[in-house]
Structure 1
Amino acid sequence: MLVTMTDLFCGAGGSTCGALQIPGVRVVMAANHSRHAINTHQHNHPTTDHDCADISQVVPTRYPRTDILWGSPECTHHTRARGKKRGHGEFDGGLFATDGTDEAAIRSRATMHDIARFAEHHRYRAIIVENVPDARWWGPEEAPGFAFDNWVRSVALWGPYDYRIVYLDSCHAQAAGPGSRSRRPRMYVIFWRKGDRAPDFDKWLRPYGVCPRHGWVRLMQCFERTRVCSPERPWGVYGVKTGQYVYRCPRVECRHQVVEPQVRGAAEAIDFTLPARTIGERSRPLVANTMRKIRAGWEKYRQAVRGEGAVIEPYMIELHGGGSSHRPATAPMSTLTAGGINHGVVYADPAVHDLLPYYGNSSAQPVTAPMPTLTTRDRHGLIGYAVSLEECRYRMLIPREAARAMEFPEDFVFLGDRDQTIEMIGNAVTTNAARDLVGMVVEALTGEDVSLPANSSSLPVSADPETPQAAAQPTASVPSIPAQGS
């Protein structure tokens, strides 16, 4: 059954790439204000109609009616990463305006209203809106969330729609294929017409993980109870120590053990064959802050000491943002941004290496030892040996590696210079998140199950006795968050 989709604020095409992975989906229309983004989208999706325009100035009748609207309104001025408050555009100390009103911020956030304008005319069967989690608190400082609440109601009235707000990190979007190799916490608002079949959120939004007692299980998302978040009013990002929600085993026998979901590592996106100078070979020393992060990673990720040197696991450093200064390459990259490549990779000479299993509590083994149990996924990487930190190699990631971490296809072509390419990648929707969310909605619209891969690389089928094969269905019922807007 053919299901049609419009992609507003489409960027280079991550959301379109993901949607087209679902059988029967056709992206009819894609629109964005950026010329190089539209050129890139059109080059990679020639059968889709395109419009390069300021969407706030577009009359909805200009575009054809479709079954689904995917919208990614501008998120730049919703996120706290810009260092400003999350309000409605106000900040202290404007140059001309006595109240310091930031008109650009207000116009940026107002792109959310374009979703309601298009819903009013087209009455889509379903709508998916993507933004940063902080968009939930859109509103004046004295009433955070007021503008967002009104926006949700304004969209829901036009269906009329039921809706549910989903908080999902792209590395955990694994239902119809692998998760992303980068972290990308996002908020998705899913609208569907009242009376129609609701999407099966449990089927599509529960990643796998290893419970110490029950082995591989499908995990349930559990929000902590804080001042701004609760299970009844969920909001936030994933994180065992610093986030607002975690994943737990659904079985009561282990008292709903907190479990880290299975994820893919940044190492799967990095090309370790590319040339990189050693730190000691550099004619101009790295800046002090970069060296501080590199040295901290060296101290943390050395697996073992042999003679005068050490076995070192490849690791990444974050020059700005990301929430940390370094992380192992077996973990997903921190969030990629439009402001420039902010990731560097450090690794020892690959000519002298050990074998590193990526799963469980494994440690490095020499290449002369038998290879540990092989699984259906590539779970082994090469790590190097270095006498000192100065012998390690360091370089910044290239755009192709960043695109790979965002799950763009290998043959995807970006049209633009390096800075424009980085901007397009950093602004994109990860294709795997769009794949799963569109698949979930298509299944609800058609009434036909969208088959999930029986032996996908995203599923934990393993011959390792410590990681038994997962059940095909959840091991226990999970209390779900009811639809909102009813």
Structure 2
Amino acid sequence: MTITDAATSIHLFAGGCGDLLAFKEAGFRPLLGANHAPPAIATLRANFPGVRGVLENIHTLDMRRLPEARALIGSPLCKEASPAGGRAAPKAQLTLDEAEENNDKKLPSDWSLTRATAWDLLRATEAAIDTGRPFDVVAGENVPGFGLSWRLFNTWVDGFYRLGLIPYLASADAAHLDAGDEGAAPQHRHRMLFAFVRKGLPAPDLRPRPLAACPYCGPVRGIQRWGKGIRRKIGVYGLSYKYVCPNRRCGHLEVEPITRPIGDCIDFSLPTRRVGDGKAGKKFRPYVDETRRKIDVGRARYGDKPFIAIMRNNCVAQSLDEPIGTITAEGNHHMLVIPGDSLDNCRIRMISIKEKARAQRFPDSHRFQGTNTEKTRLIGNAVAVNVGTWFAQRLAPVL
């Protein structure tokens, strides 16, 4: 029996279909994807014609009618899900991602609304057991704050344990997981990964081993080392854990993972506009002082090399030779700047939908459906494809 025969999967919250694509890449056979948003199901049907798409709010989905499958995959939303065709959703995803990216530990403590979808995974697991078709693995990802700040996280984990599944947790940055044909994502995206595995099945190996360079040993696969007093492995690279060389001869020196630059994703043939010409539109609207300041800082820092100006609090500019910051579900925060002989003669544009998708490691052939705003939401809420592939490759031996 091949893995494709054995490893069937169901994907709840299948927005941009990052996890669905990743698990298919890893040899799984997806059976169904569900989401409340029409553009999400349209995206699923455009890219996976053999997979059943269900357009329904996950809160009201009858879990007893899900097909039998070995794995249930679902990453609880980081913002409140709205019914199909309904009201706009709050921007909690953006708040959480930006807070963690900027090392802000003041995360929301009240997760009763934004984590409502987490209980749907537990509900689906219980329904599968009640119908005599239990899942062997229930898995997904979320921001580290999901495990660090949600007051009911331990209760949620205990619920799976009481249903006969053993919890396994890991933390990783999408920029460090070189899985799939194209390797790691050119994006720093800190995530907590969770897998609940049926008792009696093998434990998955969820230890990230990124490619790194040891100054003494040369190229190595780094080993994750956590700070003192951290019992549960949930956190952010650089604050909660680091990577060290696996070899004793160098004394396990700290190593920096090798990353992919965002410059690999940039299409320099796309049109730009002069800063001095202001924002697009019939009436002249100059760029605000803060935007101009960030462009000026980038010019001073990078000279005549193109760079990214970051339209976020506590962020200014970054090189194209490093991964970009987290791609979020709402808004556009990354401006490509091509320096000129003056600030007004710099040419700029916001990064495109396709470039955002590339930063999430989607192939150019993946077709997102909907308006540009809806596509941005699908991409920003998606599981980075390389993270999903890495995760699927480590869950496959369990089955």
The whole-number CA distance in structure 1 between the counterparts of 2:138 and 2:342 is 54
Shift in CA distance, 273/162, structure 1 to aligned 2, threshold 3 Å: same
Q: CA deviation at 1:170?
A: 1.0
1:320 counterpart residue number: 312
Deviation readout 1:29-76 (Å, 9 max, x if unpaired): 101111111111111111101111111112211111211111111113
Shift in CA distance, 264/33, structure 1 to aligned 2, threshold 3 Å: same
2:377 to 423, 443, 446: 423
The whole-number CA distance in structure 2 between the counterparts of 1:169 and 1:22 is 19
Matches within 5 A, 1:144-223: 145=151, 147-158=152-163, 160-177=164-181, 178-202=183-207, 205-223=208-226
The yes-or-no answer on 1:126 pairing with 2:118 is no
Counterpart of 2:376 in 1: which secondary structure? helix
Output the aligned Cα RMSD: 2.0
CA contact (8 A) 2:107 2:145 kept: no
CA contact (8 A) 1:175 1:207 kept: no
1:88 counterpart residue number: 110
The whole-number CA distance in structure 2 between the counterparts of 1:324 and 1:199 is 37
Aligned partner letter, 1:236: G
Counterpart of 2:197 in 1: which secondary structure? strand
Q: CA deviation at 1:138?
A: 4.2
CA contact (8 A) 2:160 2:166 kept: no
Q: How many equivalent pairs are there?
A: 365
The whole-number CA distance in structure 2 between the counterparts of 1:167 and 1:412 is 27
The whole-number CA distance in structure 1 between the counterparts of 2:225 and 2:382 is 27
Aligned partner letter, 2:370: G
Counterpart of 1:20 in 2: which secondary structure? helix
Unaligned runs of 5+ in 2: 80-91, 100-105, 129-133, 279-283
2:297 counterpart residue number: 296
The whole-number CA distance in structure 1 between the counterparts of 2:342 and 2:210 is 39
CA contact (8 A) 1:165 1:188 kept: yes
Q: CA deviation at 1:279?
A: 3.1
The whole-number CA distance in structure 2 between the counterparts of 1:21 and 1:442 is 12
The whole-number CA distance in structure 2 between the counterparts of 1:161 and 1:51 is 26
Counterpart of 1:50 in 2: which secondary structure? strand
CA contact (8 A) 1:115 1:155 kept: no
Shift in CA distance, 82/206, structure 1 to aligned 2, threshold 3 Å: closer
Unaligned runs of 5+ in 1: 90-105, 140-144, 303-311, 349-385, 446-486
2:359 counterpart residue number: 405
1:432 counterpart residue number: 386
1:248 counterpart residue number: 244
1:102 counterpart residue number: none
Deviation readout 1:288-325 (Å, 9 max, x if unpaired): 111111111111123xxxxxxxxx2221111126x632
The whole-number CA distance in structure 1 between the counterparts of 2:140 and 2:389 is 14
CA contact (8 A) 1:175 1:206 kept: no
1:346 to 332, 337, 340: 337
Q: TM-score by structure 1 length? A: 0.71
CA contact (8 A) 1:222 1:231 kept: no
User: Which structure: larger Rg?
Assistant: 1
1:266 to 262, 267, 270: 262
Shift in CA distance, 207/415, structure 1 to aligned 2, threshold 3 Å: same
Deviation readout 1:368-423 (Å, 9 max, x if unpaired): xxxxxxxxxxxxxxxxxx54444432111111111111111211112111111111
Shift in CA distance, 256/48, structure 1 to aligned 2, threshold 3 Å: same
Matches within 5 A, 1:7-26: 7-23=11-27, 25-26=28-29
The whole-number CA distance in structure 1 between the counterparts of 2:237 and 2:148 is 17
The whole-number CA distance in structure 2 between the counterparts of 1:85 and 1:397 is 28
1:329 counterpart residue number: 320
Shift in CA distance, 238/340, structure 1 to aligned 2, threshold 3 Å: same
1:116 counterpart residue number: 122
Deviation readout 1:167-220 (Å, 9 max, x if unpaired): 111111114440112121111111212221222334xx2111111111100001
Aligned partner letter, 1:87: S
The whole-number CA distance in structure 1 between the counterparts of 2:321 and 2:98 is 28
Counterpart of 1:324 in 2: which secondary structure? coil
1:469 counterpart residue number: none
The whole-number CA distance in structure 2 between the counterparts of 1:341 and 1:387 is 26
The whole-number CA distance in structure 2 between the counterparts of 1:86 and 1:292 is 31
Matches within 5 A, 1:60-75: 60-75=63-78
The whole-number CA distance in structure 2 between the counterparts of 1:324 and 1:247 is 25
The yes-or-no answer on 1:40 pairing with 2:36 is no
2:84 counterpart residue number: none
CA contact (8 A) 2:306 2:320 kept: yes
Q: What percent identity do the matched residue pairs reach?
A: 32
2:233 counterpart residue number: 234
The whole-number CA distance in structure 2 between the counterparts of 1:17 and 1:208 is 23
Runs ≥4 in structure 1, deviation > 6 angstroms?
A: none
Q: CA deviation at 1:440?
A: 1.0
CA contact (8 A) 2:11 2:73 kept: yes
The whole-number CA distance in structure 1 between the counterparts of 2:98 and 2:261 is 27
